[in-house]
Chains A and B, each alone.
Chain A
Amino acid sequence: AQRVTQPEKLLSVFKGAPVELKCNYSYSGSPELFWYVQYSRQRLQLLLRHISRESIKGFTADLNKGETSFHLKKPFAQEEDSAMYYCALRRERQLTFGSGTQLTVLP
């Protein structure tokens, strides 16, 4: 069975500092991975997906199959990045989420 692990429940960084939210997965097939974000009082929404190799709001995430990781990175954190972040893995018709990391960017 697939599994998604986000080891940090809480993460605090200062504005302008780099941030990395960790995500590790276990899956025997070819993974399809995503990052979803939930800002305060807003709906959970897609941030980015590995297949598109995109940068959204300055965030990037690289799939490392050797380390089975999909860490989310941003070189310079902003206060508006404060949110709950979920890593997710799709297998067929099911999306499995990690337990989430609450990111706080301090002024």
Chain B
Amino acid sequence: NAGVTQTPKFQVLKTGQSMTLQCAQDMNHEYMSWYRQDPGMGLRLIHYSVGAGITDQGEVPNGYNVSRSTTEDFPLRLLSAAPSQTSVYFCASSYRTDQSSYNSPLHFGNGTRLTVT
């Protein structure tokens, strides 16, 4: 299993440009999520999905869109990039979505480092 795969690893955008960060998992996980990691602020949840066709907002959803057309893929779209979106983005997935997460740790991708100039 490849686990959680994120592409690209690095990206530089100009203000106003759009792009999609890709995330794919091959573990048949129900739950997928996107976090951004900023110095001094830890990881903040952007959006998450509990299954194909279902998405919901996290703590910092503004400026980002997501969709979940398949179980495997969960792309994150920036429609009009802003310098405030410069960050490291992590995709993470887990098997179960109920409250008992004993057997469902989050599996993380390697991250995408995005710079918006």
**A interface list, Cβ under 8 A from B:** 4, 6, 9, 32, 34, 36, 43-46, 49, 51-52, 86, 90, 92-100
Contact = CB atoms under 8 A, between A and B. Distances in A.
Given A46-B105, A51-B102, A90-B99, 15 more contacts: A32-B101, A43-B4, A44-B43, A44-B92, A49-B101, A49-B102, A52-B102, A92-B99, A93-B31, A93-B48, A93-B50, A93-B56, A93-B97, A97-B44, A98-B42
**Which of A34, A49, A99 has the largest number of chain B CB atoms within 10 A?**
A99
Contacts, number: 54
B45 A100 contact: no
A46 B108 CA distance: 9
A95 B40 contact: no
B54 to A, nearest CB: 10
Interface of B: 4, 31, 33, 35, 40-45, 48, 50, 56, 58-59, 90, 92, 97, 99, 101-102, 105-110
A42 B106 CA distance: 15
Contact of B105 (A9, A49, A86, A93): A49
Contacts of B45: 94-96
Given A32-B99, A93-B31, A93-B56, A43 B110 contact: yes
Contacts of B107: 45
Nearest to A51: B102
Given A93-B48, A93-B50, A94-B45, A44 B101 contact: no
Contacts of B41: 99
**Which of A9, A95, A98 has the largest number of chain B CB atoms within 10 A?**
A95
A92 B97 CA distance: 8
A36 B77 CA distance: 26
Nearest to B94: A95
A36 B105 CA distance: 10
25 contacts: A6-B42, A36-B106, A43-B108, A43-B109, A43-B110, A44-B90, A44-B92, A44-B108, A45-B107, A49-B101, A49-B102, A49-B105, A51-B102, A86-B42, A90-B101, A93-B97, A94-B45, A94-B48, A95-B106, A96-B45, A96-B59, A97-B35, A97-B43, A99-B41, A100-B42
